[in-house]
Amino acid sequence: MSRERSSAERGVLLQNPLSGISLRRHGGLIALALLLLFNIVFTRNFLHMQTLFVNVSQVATIAIVAVGMTLVIATRGVDLSVGAVMALAGALAPLIFMSSFGRANPGLGVALAIIVPLLVAAACGLFNGVLVAFLNVQPIIATLILFISGRGIALVLTNGNLQTFSNPIFSFLGTGRILGLPFQGWLALAIALFFAWLVARTLYGRYLLAVGGNETAAGLAGVPVRTVKIATYVISASLAGLAGLIVVAINSASDAARIGNLMELDAIAAAVVGGAVLSGGRAPILGAIFGAVFIQLVRYTLLANGFSDEVALIIKAAIIVFAVYLQQASRE
Partner 1 sequence: MTTPLLRMTGISKAFNGVPALARAELAVDRGEVHAIVGQNGAGKSTLIKILTGVYQRDEGEIAFDGAPSTIASPREAQERGVSTIYQELNLVPLRSVTENVVLGYEPRTRWGTIDWRGAHRRTGEILSRFGVDIDVKAPLATYPTAIQQLVAIARAVSLNAKLVIMDEPTSSLDEREVEVLFGVIRELKNSGTSILYVSHFLDELFEICDRVTIMRDGRTVGVANIAETTKLDLIAAMLGRSAAEIQTAGMTELAATGDRSGELLLEAEGVATNRRLRNLSLKVRRGEIVGLAGLLGSGRTEAARAIFGCDKPTAGRVAMKGTAIDCPRTAISRGIGYLTEDRKAEGIVPELSVRENMTLALLPQLSRMGLVDKAREREIVERFIRSLGIKAAHMDQKVSELSGGNQQKVLLGRWLAIQPALLILDEPTRGVDVGAKLEIQAIIRRYVDEGCGVILISSEFQELIEGADEIVVLQEGESVRTVSNPGVTEDMLVHAIAQPKAKEVDA
Partner 2 sequence: MLGDAFDLRTYTRQLGRSSTITVWIALLCLILFGLLRYDNFGSTYNIGSFLNYNSMFILISVGMCFVIMTGGIDLSVGSVAAFASVVAALLSPHGLWVALPGGILAGMAFGAVNAFIILVMRVPPFMATLATMLAAKGCALVLSGKQTVSVSWESNFTTLGMSSAFGILPWTILVTAIVVVAAWIVLEKTSLGRTVLAVGGSPDAAHLMGLKTGRAIAFVYLFSGACAGLAGVFLASGYGAGQPLEGVGWELAAIASVVVGGTLLTGGLGSIPATVAGALLFGLVFNILNFENGRGTISLSAYWQSVIRGGLLLLVILLQARVQSLGVRSKTS
**213 binds partner 2, rule: CB under 8 A:** no
303 binds, among partner 1, partner 2, none (CB under 5 to 8 A by kind): none
The CA–CA distances, whole Å, from 300 to 38, 43, 47 equal 12, 10, 13
Please, which of residues 240-269 interact with partner 2 by CB under 8 A?
261-262, 265, 268-269
Please, which of residues 61-120 interact with partner 2 by CB under 8 A?
78, 80
**9 binds partner 1, rule: CB under 8 A:** yes
Distance from chain centroid for Cα 138: 20
**141 binds partner 2, rule: CB under 8 A:** yes
Q: CA-CA distance, 75 to 95, in Å (whole number)?
A: 35
Name 164's bridge partners. Answer: 253
**Complex with partner 2: residue 286 or 326, whichever CB lies closer:** 326
Smallest distance from the beta carbon of 92 to partner 2, in angstroms?
A: 15
Q: CA-CA distance, 175 to 168, in Å (whole number)?
A: 9
**2 binds partner 2, rule: CB under 8 A:** no
> From the list 33, 48, 224, 321, which residue makes contact with partner 1 (rule: CB under 8 A)?
224
Q: CA-CA distance, 85 to 166, in Å (whole number)?
A: 23
Stretch that binds partner 1, among 1-9, 172-180, 187-195, 258-266 (CB under 8 A): 1-9
**221 binds partner 1, rule: CB under 8 A:** yes
| 80 contacts: CB under 8 Å, gap ≥ 6 | 140, 143, 144, 147, 264
Name which of 67, 63, 80, 37 is nearest 295 in CA terms.
Answer: 63
Q: CA-CA distance, 311 to 302, in Å (whole number)?
A: 8
Please, which of residues 249-288 interact with partner 1 by CB under 8 A?
281-282
Q: Which residues of 169-188 are buried (b: 16+ CB within 10 A; e: fewer)?
A: bbbebbbbeeeebbbbbbbb
Q: CA-CA distance, 194 to 96, in Å (whole number)?
A: 29
**Complex with partner 2: residue 108 or 314, whichever CB lies closer:** 314
Per the CB < 8 A criterion, the answer to whether 257 and 155 are in contact is: yes
Smallest distance from the beta carbon of 36 to partner 2, in angstroms?
A: 24
Please, which of residues 154-173 interact with partner 2 by CB under 8 A?
155-156, 159-160
Smallest distance from the beta carbon of 227 to partner 1, in angstroms?
A: 11
Per the CB < 8 A criterion, the answer to whether 128 and 142 are in contact is: yes
The CA–CA distances, whole Å, from 247 to 28, 124, 142, 255, 295 equal 28, 19, 25, 10, 19
Smallest distance from the beta carbon of 274 to partner 1, in angstroms?
A: 16
**216 binds partner 2, rule: CB under 8 A:** no
HSE toward the beta carbon, residue 235, CA cutoff 13 A: 27
Please, which of residues 185-214 interact with partner 1 by CB under 8 A?
201-204, 206-207, 209-210, 212-214
Name which of 172, 151, 176, 154 is nearest 163 in CA terms.
Answer: 154
Smallest distance from the beta carbon of 151 to partner 2, in angstroms?
A: 7
> From the list 65, 173, 187, 218, which residue makes contact with partner 1 (rule: CB under 8 A)?
218
**47 binds partner 1, rule: CB under 8 A:** no
**31 binds partner 2, rule: CB under 8 A:** no
Give 71: exposed, middle or buried? Use CB within 10 Å, 0-12, 13-18, 19+: buried
Binding site for partner 2 (CB under 8 A): 78, 80, 131, 135-138, 140-142, 144-153, 155-156, 159-160, 261-262, 265, 268-269, 272, 278, 308-314, 316-318, 320-321, 324-325, 328-329, 332
Binding site for partner 1 (CB under 8 A): 2-10, 13, 17, 201-204, 206-207, 209-210, 212-214, 216-224, 281-282
